[in-house]
Structure 1
Amino acid sequence: MNYNNQWLIEKYQRKDKIKYLFFWGHGESTSGVVTQSCLSQWWVAPFRENGITYPTAEHWMMAGKARLFNDEAVLQRILKARTPAEAKKLGRQVRLFDPAVWDEHKSNIVIAGNLLKFSQHPDLKEFLINTKDRVLVEASPVDTIWGIGMKSDHEHVENPLRWRGQNLLGYALMAVRDKL
Structure 2
Amino acid sequence: MEGDTLYAYRSWTGFCIYKIDFKADNNHLVTVNRDPEQNESASTAEDAERLDHLLNWWTQPSYDYYGEWLSETYNALKKAGKAPDKLTISGQEFDAYYFHKPEEPNGFLSNRYPSPFDLDGQHFSSAGQYIMYKKCMIFGDQASAKAVLETEDTARQQAIGRHASGYIGSVWTGMRQTVAFRAFMAKFGQNQELKQQLLDTGDAYLVACAGSDRIWACGLGLNDDKRFDAANWKGDNILGFTLMEVRNTLRDTPDK
TM-score in terms of structure 1 length: 0.85
**Structure 1 match to 2:103:** 27
Choose between structure 1 and 2: higher helix proportion.
1
Output the amino acid matched with 2:101. G
Output the amino acid matched with 2:180. V
State the number of aligned residues: 163
Q: CA RMSD in A?
A: 1.5
**Structure 2 match to 1:12:** 89
Correspondence list, 1:49-88, <5 A: 49-88=119-158
Greater C-alpha radius of gyration: 2
Share of identical aligned residues, percent? 26
**Structure 1 match to 2:224:** 154
* Distance in 2 of aligned mates of 1:67 and 1:136: 28
2:204 to 134, 142, 147: 134
Correspondence list, 1:116-127, <5 A: 116-127=186-197
SS of corresponding position for 1:42:
coil
The structural deviation recorded for 1:50 is 3.7
Output the amino acid matched with 2:249. K
TM-score in terms of structure 2 length: 0.61
* Distance in 1 of aligned mates of 2:225 and 2:118: 40
Output the amino acid matched with 2:109. L
Deviation per CA, 1:119-178: give whole Å up to 9, x if none: 111111001011111000012122111111212332321211111111110001001101
Q: Which has the higher contact order (CA 8 A, sep 6+)?
A: 1
* Distance in 2 of aligned mates of 1:148 and 1:49: 28
The structural deviation recorded for 1:12 is 2.1
Choose between structure 1 and 2: higher strand proportion.
2
Gap runs ≥5 in structure 1: 1-10, 29-34
The structural deviation recorded for 1:107 is 0.6
